[in-house]
Every structure is written in structure tokens, then in C-alpha cells.
Amino acid sequence: MLSLSGIHKRFGAVQALTDVRLEVAAGEVVALVGDNGAGKSTLVKVIAGVYQPDSGDIELAGRRVKVGGPRQAQDLGIATVFQDLALCDNLDVVANLFLGQERVKGGAIDEVAMEVEAWRLLRSLSAKIPSVRIPIAALSGGQRQTVAIARSLVGKPKVVMLDEPTAALGVAQTAEVLNLVERLRDNGLGVILISHNMADVQAVADRIVVLRLGRNEAEFYTDEVTTTDLVAAITGASDNVVASRAARGKEQAHG
């Protein structure tokens, strides 16, 4: 569904991305992980059209494309849910879902059509939202994330990128969001999940791509990798604090 190859991006003296590659198939969740400064956010912004790569190719559904900006990315079928969600607390769910892309009929905003479409989108995600006319300020963190994900589906995208979707959420809300990620995959979308939470990544991702210092460091199938292996790839060292704690825990268990 989405293929990137040879992506380079430099900011002045800083080489942010070097020969990065990434592939996402339809109906697949690919987790993008790495330490701070690994290049994850830069790569996401290249895919979303916020940044233009210095070189490299982007293909969507087998066709080479140039993502000239966020609006063009949306038109091409690439949707992004950033960590801050960018929701308006004073507006209701319907208004947030269609903000900037309102349905118009006879020269006026078609509130009925938008409300019907809002319920359809939320039902497709099995979302637990009490009313589409409730202000965003009255929703929980998990429900807000649900609205942000539903909004990304308004343009019927092929690929959805989720930037730290479970950050600052409780256990139950995190489980709801992970269910949404699986629902996106079941609906045939290509999903890119950016997260620091290894448990979340291993719970829903089919493949895990590790970036380190702006380069591809490793790629794993989720069912064939351990948390220790992931941390080793992320940090570039097998002797790390996570591995040490795990080893110490085993010693205590057998002691």
C-alpha cells in the first residue's frame, strides 16, 4: 500500500534521515520504534507532506507520488493522527470530525448528513461515544483519541499513521485504542503505529521497524521477537538496562 525507499532528509548540518526504507501492506499494522532522535517524527512528517525529502521515492498503491503538503497527502489517501490530536474542546463530535471538510447542501452546511456519517464512522470503529453532539471537553482521553482516529477516516484513506496514540492514557483507555488499531487493520487499511510502549507495539503490530540515528537498524515480525531484542536494536547494545533487569529478575526467580 505504501512504500518508501532511499529517503534522505537533512536540516543544515544535521542528517536526520539516511537511506530510510519502509513498506506497509493493506490490512497490516507496522510499528515504527526508536529512541528519541531516531528520526521517527521526521519520517512521519515526510510521509504526511509536512517535510519534503531531499531524495528518495514514495509509492502509494504501486504508483510513485510526490507529497507536496498535508492537504495533498490527505487527497492521496494518507491520514495522520498526531499526538496532540488537534481537537477543538468547545465544539461537538460532529463539528470536530468534519472541521475544514464540512458537507454542504444548497449553499449551507448539511448538519443531518454530517451527523449520519459521524455515527457510521464511529460504528465502524465500535466506538463508545454516548452522543455525537457532546462537546469534546466532556470526553475521556480514550474517547478523544477515538474521535481523532474517526476524523482521519473521513477522507477514506488508504494509510493511517498514529503518533503515540496511547500516551497519557489509562489501562482501560489504552485497551480501547489498541482495539481501534486492530479495527483499522481489519478494515483493510495500512497502519503505521509510532510508540515508545513496547507492550502496545507487541500487542497489535504485525511487523516492527526500528530506526536508530536516522537509519534502518532492524526489522522484526512481532511473533518472532522479544522485548529484550527490541530494546537492544533501539539502543544499539545488547547490554542495556532492560536486559539487565530481566536477567536479574530471572536470577531472583530461580534463587
2-88+156-224: in CATH 3.40.50.300: yes
Comparing 158-162, 182-186, 250-254, the range with the smallest average pLDDT is 250-254
Per-residue pLDDT tens over the stretch 104-136:
888 888 899 999 999 998 888 888 888 899 999
Please say whether the beta carbons of 156 and 77 come within 8 A. Answer: yes
- How far, in Å, CA of 16 to CA of 10, rounded? 5
Cα–Cα distance for residue pair 54/32, rounded to 1 Å: 21
Chain segment 18-28, per-residue pLDDT in tens: 999 999 999 99
116 within 8 A of 98, measured Cβ to Cβ: no
- Select the more confidently predicted residue: 108 or 250: 108
pTM: 0.84
Residue 239 confidence (pLDDT): 53
Write the pLDDT tens digit of every residue in 188-235.
999 999 988 888 999 999 999 999 999 999 999 999 998 889 999 998
pLDDT of residue 149: 86
Bridge partners of 123, per DSSP, are: none
Residue 2: all three cell numbers together: 505504501
Contact between 19 and 30 under an 8 Å Cβ cutoff? The reply is no
Q: Give the pLDDT score at 255.
A: 56
pLDDT digits (tens, 9 = 90+) for 47-103: 999 999 999 999 998 899 999 888 899 889 999 888 777 888 899 999 999 988 888
DSSP codes of every residue in 228-245: HHHHHHHHT-SS-HHHHH
Best CA proximity match to 47, nearest among 25, 26, 20, 29: 20
pLDDT score, position 189: 93
**Structure confidence by residue, pLDDT tens digits, 161-182:** 998 888 877 788 888 888 889 9
pLDDT at 240 over 80: no
Q: Give 155 or 237, the one with higher predicted confidence.
A: 155
Question: Rounded CA gap, 214 and 190, in Å?
Answer: 23
CA-wise closest residue to 185 among 43, 25, 23, 59 = 25
